[in-house]
Structure 1
């Protein structure tokens, strides 16, 4: 079993670009994927003057990663509708889902799709509850898990920052492999649009 530490932010566009790579790891029985949320933004509205920059950056991400940004999301950013980025309540939801049968990676995927493809307000607790319901999580269990995870968010974010500092990681997404007492950084961006190379990398690492 290989321990893989994934440093990310739910509201990071490049992390959405890497989503298919991460999903393949979460589905690999030889890999223990550990999620480390970064705490990039706390309930931060996108200013009107910054919206065109966001759209241009998203186009760059799409071009380089092959990921698709949904029309509902693009229309929302281009309009006068509010777009609020909240790394903390989304991280809370991921931690809550992880407590419920280890579904953190699936919740991250749902949040990213909800935001970047469906244009949903993933900064709202009700929307996150809808995502949990779509995953088959019962409402009462979800509310209890969210309540418990509320106190875990800042410790998790602080742990992520310490991990990044200790290993010289800069920005999101970042990744570390912990194996046989050794740590190795993986440059995720080298594998955008290279799924075969990504699979070959992990086949080599899991057989080491």
Structure 2
């Protein structure tokens, strides 16, 4: 892609990524956004929901809500986080985002839907049936989505995670979310901290930054770590 591009390295189960959701959506009106799923809670880092997990993530989530203004629902806090049959697994929702992207560039739209389903409505976004339902809710053909989803899981997902982690290391990102502006072959990390809760101002700043020859490399702001959220 020859023009300016915003690379978004994310995870669907990253709370700070949910906090940054309005910023990324606003940015999409300014320049193309490329999604890179980092696989935070995959493989050995998949976690069944437990009382310990709930106690661990709730203060973290309340801090994200305070800083970003993003809503966290009771169906999440007192529903999903008490459902000990649920498993937090980043792989299926990331595959769903990749499938939606292939079906008409709808990846970012589905990601936002998945984040709200998880953090507001307490849905189990690692379940294939839920993913299929949410894809249909944004207007994707269910059968076409199923076919793309299976193709991604079988042939592309692990390579995608590997490439995303490589990009994260290349640009000096520390976790999720990492937003990187690529302009004239140069990569500049964006500190989202000052912009949380201010998507319109962020989009305006982003548009102005494109007129500058180079951005300054900066810390990337609050983020979840490579293997889970701990801040």
Instruction: Place the TM-score, normalised by the shorter chain, in its bin.
Output: over 0.9
Unaligned runs of 5+ in 2: 213-231
Residue 171 of structure 1 corresponds to: 175
Aligned match of 1:88 in 79, 86, 91? Answer: 91
CA deviation after TM superposition for structure 1 residue 78, in Å: 5.1
Is residue 126 of structure 1 aligned with residue 126 of structure 2? no
Query: Bigger CA drift: 157-166 or 77-86?
Result: 77-86
Establish whether residue 11 from structure 1 lines up as the match of residue 13 from structure 2.
Answer: yes
Distance, in Å, in 2 between the alignment partners of 1:83 and 1:89 is 13
* Contact 1:69/1:116 (<8 A) preserved: yes
Paired residue for 1:191? 195
Quote the Cα distance in structure 2 between the aligned partners of 1:192 and 1:140: 37
- Pairwise mapping of residues 45-194 of structure 1 onto structure 2 (< 5 A)? 45-77=48-80, 79-150=82-153, 151-194=155-198
Segment of structure 1 superposing worse, 49-58 or 129-138: 49-58
Q: What is the distance in 2 between the residues matched to 1:77 and 1:131?
A: 17
CA deviations 1:19-58 (Å, max 9, x no partner) are 11111122x1x41100010101124213322312211111
Q: Take 1:82 and 1:205, find their aligned partners in 2: how far apart are those partners?
A: 46
Q: What is the Cα deviation at residue 79 of structure 1?
A: 2.9
Aligned to 1:11, what secondary structure does the other structure show? Answer: coil
Residues of 1 paired with 2:118 and 2:9: CA distance?
Answer: 19
Give me the CA root mean square deviation: 1.5
Larger displacement relative to structure 2 (37-46 or 65-74): 37-46
The number of aligned residues is 206
Deviation (angstroms), 1:206: 3.6
**3-state SS, counterpart of residue 79 of structure 2:** helix
Q: Is the 8 A contact 1:48 1:80 kept in 2?
A: no
More helix by share: 1
CA distance in 2, matches of 1:31, 1:199: 9
- Rounded to whole Å, the distance in 2 between the matches of 1:144 and 1:193 is 37
TM (norm. structure 2) is: 0.84
Structure 1 residue ranges without an equivalent (≥5): none
TM-score by length of 1: 0.93
1:141 offset after TM fit, Å? 0.7
